[in-house]
Structure 1
Amino acid sequence: MPDSPVRRAALEVEAHVAADGWDQPARLFALVPTVDLIAREPELAAQVEASPGGFTSIEQELPVDGRELEELLTEIGWPDTVIGCAVVVERLMLPAEAEEELPDDPDAMAAAAAQHPDRREVRLVAAVTRGGAVHSAVRGRTADGDAVELLEGPDLVPGLLAQLRQTLQP
């Protein structure tokens, strides 16, 4: 996998969130150029690694009002100092053939997916920049609660990447 600042940022936020275990709410991060952050806040220089073109992720508070992440993302906009953003969210995934059997009602669908014997719990990571760079990652969880190998690439979660891109639009 070719390395890039957005890839490093995505993997760093995944590792940060993973350190807190599973069953977490969605977490959102602003990505700012590390050199700009140090220029504005020189006292942070000892705490962050200033690699050329690198980003520092800054966690944002999300409202705890019961709304889904996808709805919250429609209301988010970033100042120009934020060059990108990343999100980490846990979801249930089903095989394609199982999705055909799900009810249309969203609440009934969620209940059926949670009970489906072939469900997989996953942690999704998506990161985007204003310049169009993207990276995504998916980590599964076994029935025993252990994390499995991280899969990564530029387009593993296209819908989530598209929603994040929208938050960066003027």
Structure 2
Amino acid sequence: MTQADELTALVREVEQHTAEIGWDQPAQLFAVVPTAELLAAQPHLAGQVDAAAPFTPIAQDALPSPDLADALATIMWPDEVAGCAVVQEIMVAPPGPDTGAAPTPEAGYREARLVAAVLRDGPAACALRMRDPRSAAEEQLIESADLAPNLVGALRRTFAPA
């Protein structure tokens, strides 16, 4: 399995974890660490993480700012962190020309959960799940590394030298 495949699997895991909590959640940041290194440093976690997974996401405290861009601009990771992931709920514009309408469901916008992740000097992965306002059922997970290039760039900058 390539690093890109491993990161895609991690994005699915983070999205599933977030889906279990439900909608209407604030943005959440995760450190991505090598599972083997995590278990070597903290063997008591052996029953709580998937030892076969190459990476483990670790939820971080609440972001320091409600504005995701501002929050990410203040974050720097220690060397032990191999990557990071973020989950945020967004509004997806309807197809067609931009009408300048406010991003509301009444204007045709749809709510979605976006997960983006990067590895330090490595690949990126993203997934998007639309929310169906008419039912409790969730729609198919859309996966593509280029779903959120600006967010991926902001995540990469959290690894830039100070």
The TM-score, its normalising length taken from structure 1, stands at: 0.85
Provide structure 1 residue ranges, at least 5 long, that are not aligned to the other structure: 103-108
The 1:145/1:26 distance shift into structure 2, 3 A limit, reads farther
Mean CA deviation greater in 43-52 or 77-86: 43-52
Task: Find the counterpart in structure 1 of residue 87 from structure 2.
Answer: 88
> Could you say what secondary structure the match of 1:19 adopts?
helix
Q: Measure the CA separation in 2 of the matches of 1:36 and 1:94.
A: 41
Task: Find the counterpart in structure 2 of residue 105 from structure 1.
Answer: none
Task: Find the counterpart in structure 1 of residue 24 from structure 2.
Answer: 23
Task: Find the counterpart in structure 2 of residue 33 from structure 1.
Answer: 34
The TM-score, its normalising length taken from structure 2, stands at: 0.89
1:5-154 alignment to 2 at 5 Å?
5-51=6-52, 54-63=54-63, 67-95=66-94, 97-99=96-98, 101-102=99-100, 112-114=102-104, 116-146=106-136, 147-154=138-145
- Across the aligned residues of Structure 1 and Structure 2, the Cα RMSD in angstroms comes to 1.9
Q: Measure the CA separation in 1 of the matches of 2:106 and 2:70.
A: 25
Q: Deviations over 1:34-64 (max 9, x none)?
A: 0000110111122222226x11111011246
Q: Percent identity?
A: 42
Q: Measure the CA separation in 2 of the matches of 1:142 and 1:132.
A: 33
How far does residue 131 in structure 1 lie from its aligned partner after superposition?
2.7
* Paired AA for residue 70 in structure 2: E
Q: Which one of 135, 155, 160 corresponds to residue 151 of structure 2? A: 160
Q: Measure the CA separation in 1 of the matches of 2:49 and 2:115.
A: 22
How far does residue 151 in structure 1 lie from its aligned partner after superposition?
0.4
